[in-house]
Amino acid sequence: MFGLYPAGSDWARIFANDDQDIRDVQKSLVEHAGFTAAILHQPFGKDRGAVLAQSGQMLVLSATTPGASQVVVTPAVEMQHLLWSYHTGMATQWSPMEIRTLTGYAGWDELLTCARREFARACEKVEAAVVGKLQAPGVAVARVDPMNEPFPDDDDIAFYSRMASMAEGMEVSPCAH
């Protein structure tokens, strides 16, 4: 259904989506994986997939043909053209400034490394969403730093007693006088 995109088959991963409603997949990707919801536009043309969600330079497209229930992860159009150029030996047609403008990466090495990493991460998240197992990442417990914790009230006795207890263990620099 999706066919081949300009970057080639190495940059397209198709997932069967038999059990999940496409809106549930989109919601899961947005809520649990930090993707941005899309409005189902078709950047590669009619019946080549409608964008469901996006993460960085990676698109998640859903099938648009009746009866098809597939999802594909592939790079965005601009990235597709860059990857095609690199793959076909025409990388020199792009200056470092053009690469940075289009992608934010400093050059080919950074672009290829980061694109592969981003593609793998997007595929992993989409695969989990399609089977209904994508969950929000664990919330890290923040360490409370008493020096940055706001005081309840400057006129409060608790303010002065806390300041005194924090000052007890601090050394004063000789330059402070």
Evaluate whether residue 45 is within a structural domain.
Answer: yes
- pLDDT over threshold 80, residue 82: yes
User: What is the C-alpha separation between 51 and 38, in angstroms, rounded?
Assistant: 6
Q: Please give the C-alpha separations between residue 174 and each of 20, 147, 171, in angstroms, as whole numbers.
A: 67, 22, 9
% of the chain exceeding 70 in pLDDT:
75
pLDDT score for 166: 63
Bigger pLDDT: 115 or 136?
Answer: 115
d(CA 74, CA 12): 5
pLDDT for the residue numbered 76: 93
Whether 177 is covered by a domain: the verdict is: no
User: Is the residue at 98 inside a domain?
Assistant: yes
Q: How far is CA 118 from CA 20, 47, 108, in A?
A: 24, 25, 15
**pLDDT at residue 31 in the model:** 93
Amino acid 174: pLDDT: 41
The arithmetic mean of pLDDT across residues 134-141, rounded, is 64
pLDDT tens column, 40-55: 888 988 888 899 999 9
**End-to-end CA, the chain:** 76
Least confident of 11-20, 80-89, 154-163, 166-175: 166-175
Give mean pLDDT, residues 113-142. 84
Tell me what pLDDT residue 46 has: 85
Domain count, the chain: 1
Assigned domain for 30 exists: yes
Indicate the pTM of the whole model.
Answer: 0.73
Residue 59 inside a domain? The answer is yes
Residue 156 lies in a domain: no
User: Residue 56 sits in which domain range?
Assistant: 9-130
Q: Is the pLDDT of residue 177 over 50?
A: no
pLDDT digits (tens, 9 = 90+) for 142-176: 455 555 555 555 556 665 666 666 666 555 444 33
What's residue 160's pLDDT? 62
Q: Residue 153 domain-assigned?
A: no
pLDDT for the residue numbered 89: 93
Query: What is residue 19's predicted lDDT score, i.e. its pLDDT?
Result: 79
- 50-55 β-sheet, strand order: 13-16, 70-75, 58-62, 50-55, 36-37
42's CB contacts (< 8 A; 6+ apart) are 48, 49, 50, 51, 64
Does any domain span residue 124?
A: yes
Residue of 60 and 159 predicted with greater confidence: 60
CA 170 – CA 157 distance, rounded (Å) = 21
